[in-house]
Amino acid sequence: MSIQGLFCYNKLMDKITEEWLNELSANKISGPDVDRSLAYAKDLLKGLSTIRRFSQGVTIFGSARTPETDKYYIKARELGRLLAENGHPVITGGGPGIMEAANRGAYEYGGRSVGLNIKLPFEQHENPYLTDSMEFNYFFARKVMLVMSSKAYAFFPGGLGTLDEMSEVLILIQTGKMPKMPCFLIGKSYWRPLVKFFKTTMLKNKMIKEEDLDLFVMTDDITEVVLAANKIGHININDNIYNRVKSV
C-alpha cells in the first residue's frame, strides 16, 4: 500500500471510536461485522493504491481454463502486444488462461502488464507476466478495480466469472453508474448464442431496451479494441475518468 493509501486507511481506523462502537452494538452490529467491514475497506484502499500507479488502460476478461494452444489464447496474447505497442496498460485478473495470454503479450513487448488476482482454493494463481500486481480477498473489490483502472473492456470466451464481469460492466453503463466505455465481446461464434438470447428472449419480453444492445460490440477483430483505446487517448496518470462521475 502506498503512503497515501496507508494514511487513508489509518484515518478510517481512527473513526472507529468507542462511541461509534457503542452505537453499532446498540443496533445489533456485531464485532465480526465490524471486522468484515474493515477487511472490505482494506481491499478497496489497497486496490485504489495499486491502480493509481498507472494511467487507465484496457481490461481484458476471459477464462482461466484456456490452454496456450487455443485460438483465443493466441488472439488475447496478440491483443496484449498491440495495446502495449500503442502505449496502453493491459489489465487482467492476473490468473492463467486468457488473462495470462493478454499479460504475456504486453509483458513481452515491454509494456505495462497489470494483474489483479483473487485468492481462490483452485484454478487461480498469479501468472508470471506481470509488471504490477495485487491479490484480493473479495471478488467485489477486485471487480471495482478491474473496471476503474480502464477506459475500454474486452471480453474473451469464459465461464460464469467472465459472464458476471461482463453483466456488471454493462449494467453500470446502462444505469449511468459509470461513463459509457467501449465494450467488446471477442469471438462471434462463442458470444452469438448469448446475444441471440438478449434479442429473442430478453428484448422480446421487454426486460431490456433496444438501445441496450448498443452497449457492446461483438467482433472477431481485436484491432477494434486498440482503435477504441487510441481514440480515447492516453489519460494522465494523475487523472481518472471515474473522478468525473458523481454517481460512482
More confident residue, 237 or 136: 136
Question: For position 239, what pLDDT does the model report?
Answer: 76
More confident residue, 241 or 124: 241
- Cα 215 → chain centroid: 17
Question: For position 143, what pLDDT does the model report?
Answer: 94
- Measure the CA–CA gap between 24 and 28, rounded to whole angstroms: 6
Cβ pair 92, 60 in contact under 8 A: yes
Cβ neighbours for 36, distance < 8 A, ≥ 6 positions apart: none
- Measure the CA–CA gap between 23 and 231, rounded to whole angstroms: 51
State percent of the chain over pLDDT 90: 65
Candidates 57, 59, 56, 55; CA nearest to 155 is 59
CATH code that applies to domain 56-244: 3.40.50.450
Model confidence, pTM: 0.86
Q: Where are the domains of the chain?
A: 3-47, 56-244
Q: Which pLDDT tens digit goes with each residue over 18-74? A: 566 666 666 667 767 777 878 888 888 888 888 888 899 999 999 999 999 999 999
Neighbours of 35 (CB within 10 A): 10
Cell triple for residue 134?
Answer: 495485487
Please give the helix or strand (H or E) that residue 189 lies within, else none. Answer: helix 188-197
Q: Which pLDDT tens digit goes with each residue over 147-176? A: 999 999 999 999 999 999 999 999 999 999
Q: Which pLDDT tens digit goes with each residue over 108-133? A: 999 999 999 987 766 568 899 999 99
Q: What is the mean pLDDT of the chain?
A: 88
More confident residue, 196 or 49: 196
Residue 17: is its pLDDT beyond 90?
Answer: no
Question: For position 237, what pLDDT does the model report?
Answer: 74
Instruction: Kindly state the average pLDDT of the residues 234-241.
Output: 77
Q: Which pLDDT tens digit goes with each residue over 134-154? A: 999 899 999 999 999 999 999
- Measure the CA–CA gap between 100 and 73, rounded to whole angstroms: 8
Instruction: Kindly state the average pLDDT of the residues 11-16.
Output: 56
